[in-house]
Amino acid sequence: MPRPRQGMAFEMLAKEKILISYQGGRASPEEWDRYISFMKTITSTPRVRFLVWVEGSPPTAANQRRISELVQRDWPVALVSPSTAMRFVVSAFSLVNRSIRFFAPAQLSDALVHIHCTAADAIAVHDALERLRFED
């Protein structure tokens, strides 16, 4: 039986232009570096969308700063988490990106609507989330 992943993993659905990221537990500095480096490669990609699922702790203040330096105002971002601390982080990010919204895990379908997923997009996102959330 697969175990929930610890740390951070992400995948870009190139066809759908959706970056899906998952964090379980605390992500390592190396994982954050890889994520930030990848985000830098997509800053000029038009109409990119984000689904971020966080089961761990919020990013450190330093990593929040790194992300806010890259975020485009019009990127639709759905952050899914059971954490009320993450709700606060989303509030802070909404000052930089007004298209970011917080969703509880039970609201995943609402999160997908927020980032303008079609039915086909939603299937691809669900499949990617399963790959990212669980280790083999």
CATH code for the domain of 83: 3.30.750.24
Q: 92, 65 in Cβ contact below 8 A? A: no
Instruction: Give per-residue pLDDT as tens, 66-121.
Output: 998 888 677 899 999 999 999 999 998 898 889 999 999 999 999 999 999 999 99
Give the domain range for residue 107: 3-135
Predicted confidence band of residue 131 (pLDDT cuts 50, 70, 90): very high
Q: 111, 101 in Cβ contact below 8 A? A: yes
Give residues with Cβ within 8 angstroms of 120, minimum separation 6: 16
Torsional sign, CA 19, 11, 91, 83:
positive
Q: In 1-136, where does DSSP find H-type helix?
A: 29-41, 61-70, 84-93, 108-114, 119-133
Burial grade of 32 (CB within 10 A; 0-12, 13-18, 19 or more): buried
Domain count for the chain, please give it. 1
pLDDT of res. 45? 83
Q: How many CA atoms lie within 13 A of 69 on its CB side?
A: 9
